[in-house]
Amino acid sequence: MKSTLISEAKSTLPRHDDHPYRTGPWQPNMREYDVIEPVVNGVIPADLNGVYLRNTENPVHDSLGRYHPFDGDGMLHSLCFENGRCEYRNRFILTEGLAAENKAGGPLWAGLRERPEKSLRDGWGARTRLKDSSSTDVVVHGGIAATSFYQCGDIYEHDPRTLQPLGKASWTQDLTPGWGVSAHTKVDEATGEMLFFNYSTEAPYMHYGVVDRHRALVHYIPIALPGPRLPHDMAFTDHYAILNDLPLFWDADALSHGAYAVRFHRLPSRFAIVPRRGQPEDVVWFEARPGYVLHWINAYESGDEVILDGYRQDPARGVKTKGLPAGLAPFEILDINAIGAHAYRWRFNLKTGAVTEGPLEELLSEFGMINPRVAGKPYRYSWAMTTKPGWFLFDGLLRLDAQTGKRQHYKFPEGVFASESPMAPADNGIDEDDGYVLTFTTDMNSDSSQCLIFDAHDIEPGPIASIELPQRICVGTHAYWAGME
Ligand SMILES: [Fe+2]
C-alpha cells in the first residue's frame, strides 16, 4: 500500500473530548490521504467500474454551545474502481464556513442544538445562522460530485475521482436569495436530470426545481405549504416529482420567540405530486396517516397509481434502549430503533384520489439504496442499514425483495460499524440485482477501516472482497455510486 499524507487539519476540539458523537467510531479524522494501490483482500470484480463516494460529519472545531453530530464539517471519502484496481482518497469539503473558522482559529457558528442568535456571524440554513458544512449528502451529476447540507445551503462541486474542489455550483445563483438547496438532490440516470427542493421559514416555504445534464437550472417553481416545514428528502418517477408536507416541524409558538423546537403535530401526512416540468397549478395533493419519513427508497408509476416507498417512523413500533450513557439522551431521535423506522408503501391513485398505505417490512431499518438504473421505475430490491440500539451507528445490512417480502440480513461483527451502502450495478448486468453493495467500515476492534464489497444477490455470506484504508475513518452516512461514463 502506497499511501501519501496530503495534509493535516489543525483541530481545536477539546483534547480529552467526551462527546459521544465525536469519540469512538465518531472520532473525526484530521488527515487527508491518497492511496494509489490499497491492499486488497480477495479480488476486486472486473465488472465493478466507477466511483464510490461517502460524505461524513467530521468536525475540525467545536460548535458554539452544545454540539450536534450534524454540525460537523464535511469530509469526502472516495474509492475509484477501474479494471480490477482502485484508488482511495479523502478530503475535507473546504466550505466558506470551515475556511472562516480555520482562519479564526475556532468556532464561529452555533449548531442545531442552540438558538441561531448564538452564532457570531450570519450563515446558512432554513433555520438561519448555521454553518453550511455541506456534510450531509453527495451525488454525482454531469460528471461532477456535488455535496449538500440538510438545512439547505450551497452546492459544493468536486472532481469525483481526485476530490479536487471545483467551487460552488453556479446554477444555484438563480434561486431565491438566501434559500440554498436541501440535501437529497435526486439524479435520474435515464434523463441526466437532477431534481431538487429547498425550504425556508418564509412563504411559500418550499420550491422544487430541475437541473439539466449540463448543470443548468431549467425549472424552478414554488410549492406553497401552510407554514414552515422540515422536509428531508424527495422522490421521483418517470413523469412526476413527489414532495412532502409531513407533520413533524417546528412549534409555531416557539418559532415566534426565535426558538426552533421540533414537535410532532396531529395532522395528516401530505404528499405533492407534480409533473416534473409542471407549474404550481399542476400540483396534486394527497393525504395519508400522520407520520414522518427521513428517507424515501424509490417511487414509480403503475397504471393510474404513483407508488412511493420510504421508511415511515412509528415510535409505537420502536424500542427505547435502557442503560445508555447520559450524554446520548439528547440524540434519541437519531436512533432508528427508538423511532421505529421501517419500509412502508403509499399508493396514490391519480384518477380517483384514493390513497392506500401499509408496511413493506416489519424489521426496523433505514438508509435504503437501490440499483440507480431503476430509480423512478418499477423495482424489487433495496439494501438498507440496521442500527445499533440507542445509537446512530450502522450495525447491519438488510436486503429486501419488495415483491416477495423475502429478506436477507447481514450483521457486522460487534464493534464494526458500516456506512450507507450503495448498490453498484455490474457492467453489462441484466437482472436488477446483478452487481455489488459497497460500504466503508469503522472497526473499533482492530482500529482500522476497510471498504467491503458484497455480492448484491446474496449478502448473508459476508463480503467477497475488502480494501484496506490508511487510517480508521469516522463513521458517516450518505453515500453514492456513479458508474464510469
Ligand atoms: Fe438524509
Distance between CA atoms of residues 457 and 462, nearest Å: 11
Distance between CA atoms of residues 253 and 265, nearest Å: 13
CA of 187 from ligand 1 middle (Å) equals: 15
Q: What is the dihedral of CA 463, 381, 85, 214, to 10 degrees?
A: -150
Radius of gyration of the chain (CA): 21
Going by C-alpha positions, the residue among 84, 111, 91 that lies closest to residue 30 is 91
CA of 479 from ligand 1 middle (Å) equals: 10
Instruction: For residues 461-466, give the mean pLDDT.
Output: 98
CA of 294 from ligand 1 middle (Å) equals: 6
CA of 5 from ligand 1 middle (Å) equals: 30
Distance between CA atoms of residues 180 and 174, nearest Å: 10
CB atoms within 10 A of CB 174: 11
For residue 272, give the CATH number of its domain: 2.140.10
Contact 476, 25 (CB under 8 A): no
CA of 309 from ligand 1 middle (Å) equals: 15
CA of 149 from ligand 1 middle (Å) equals: 9
pLDDT score of 71 more than 90: yes
SS3 365: coil
pLDDT score of 148 more than 90: yes
pLDDT score of 50 more than 90: yes
Contact 109, 178 (CB under 8 A): no
Contact 349, 304 (CB under 8 A): yes
CA of 136 from ligand 1 middle (Å) equals: 7
CA of 301 from ligand 1 middle (Å) equals: 24
Sign of the CA dihedral 60, 65, 69, 72? negative
Q: In sequence order, which residues have a C-beta less than 8 Å from that of residue 430 and are 6 or more positions away?
A: none
Q: Residues 194-223: pLDDT tens digits?
A: 999 999 999 999 999 999 999 999 999 999
CA of 182 from ligand 1 middle (Å) equals: 10
CA of 363 from ligand 1 middle (Å) equals: 20
CA of 183 from ligand 1 middle (Å) equals: 7
CA of 233 from ligand 1 middle (Å) equals: 7
Amino acid at site 393: L
pLDDT tier for residue 315 given thresholds of 50, 70 and 90: confident
Amino acid at site 273: I
CA of 36 from ligand 1 middle (Å) equals: 30
Contact 13, 22 (CB under 8 A): yes
The H or E element containing residue 35 is: strand 31-35
Instruction: For residues 4-28, give the mean pLDDT.
Output: 97
- For residue 128, which phi and psi values (nearest 5 degrees)? 70, 155
> Grid coordinates in use for 443?
472497526
Mean pLDDT of the chain: 97
pLDDT score of 370 more than 90: yes
Q: Please give the pLDDT value at position 485.
A: 61
Residue 95, CB-side half-sphere exposure with 13 Å CA sphere = 30
Quick check: pTM over 0.75? yes
CA of 102 from ligand 1 middle (Å) equals: 27
pLDDT score of 404 more than 90: yes
CA of 135 from ligand 1 middle (Å) equals: 10
Number of domains in the chain: 1
Instruction: For residues 310-315, give the mean pLDDT.
Output: 94
Match 403535530 to its residue by C-alpha cell: 265
- For residue 71, which phi and psi values (nearest 5 degrees)? -80, -15
CA of 366 from ligand 1 middle (Å) equals: 10
CA of 248 from ligand 1 middle (Å) equals: 15
Contact 214, 271 (CB under 8 A): no
Amino acid at site 329: A
pLDDT above 70 covers a percentage of the chain that reads: 100
Contact 134, 179 (CB under 8 A): no
Q: In sequence order, which residues have a C-beta less than 8 Å from that of residue 13 and are 6 or more positions away?
A: 22, 28, 59, 60, 61, 62
Q: What is the largest CA-CA distance in the chain?
A: 62
Q: In sequence order, which residues have a C-beta less than 8 Å from that of residue 309 and are 6 or more positions away?
A: 296, 297, 298, 299, 343, 344, 345, 346, 360, 382, 402
CA of 12 from ligand 1 middle (Å) equals: 27
CA of 296 from ligand 1 middle (Å) equals: 9
Going by C-alpha positions, the residue among 134, 231, 216, 225 that lies closest to residue 175 is 216
pLDDT score of 442 more than 80: yes
Distance between CA atoms of residues 89 and 161, nearest Å: 8
Q: Residues 151-186: pLDDT tens digits?
A: 999 999 999 999 999 999 999 999 999 999 999 999
Strand order through the sheet with 342-349: 292-302, 305-313, 342-349, 355-364
CA of 84 from ligand 1 middle (Å) equals: 31
CA of 329 from ligand 1 middle (Å) equals: 21
CA of 201 from ligand 1 middle (Å) equals: 20
CA of 181 from ligand 1 middle (Å) equals: 13
pLDDT score of 316 more than 90: no
pLDDT score of 69 more than 90: yes
CA of 480 from ligand 1 middle (Å) equals: 12
Distance between CA atoms of residues 293 and 366, nearest Å: 10
CA of 291 from ligand 1 middle (Å) equals: 17
CA of 352 from ligand 1 middle (Å) equals: 32
Q: Please give the pLDDT value at position 484.
A: 83
Contact 484, 49 (CB under 8 A): yes
What is the pairing mode between strands 31-35 and 3-8?
A: antiparallel
CA of 232 from ligand 1 middle (Å) equals: 6
Q: In sequence order, which residues have a C-beta less than 8 Å from that of residue 260 and are 6 or more positions away?
A: 115, 116, 127, 250, 254
Instruction: For residues 278-296, give the mean pLDDT.
Output: 98
SS3 317: coil
pLDDT score of 234 more than 90: yes
DSSP for 169-205, written as a single string: -GGGGGSPTTT-B-S--EEETTTTEEEEEEE-SSTT-
CA of 368 from ligand 1 middle (Å) equals: 11
CA of 203 from ligand 1 middle (Å) equals: 24
Print the domain residue range for 341: 3-483
CA of 452 from ligand 1 middle (Å) equals: 22
pLDDT score of 336 more than 80: yes
Q: Please give the pLDDT value at position 137.
A: 98
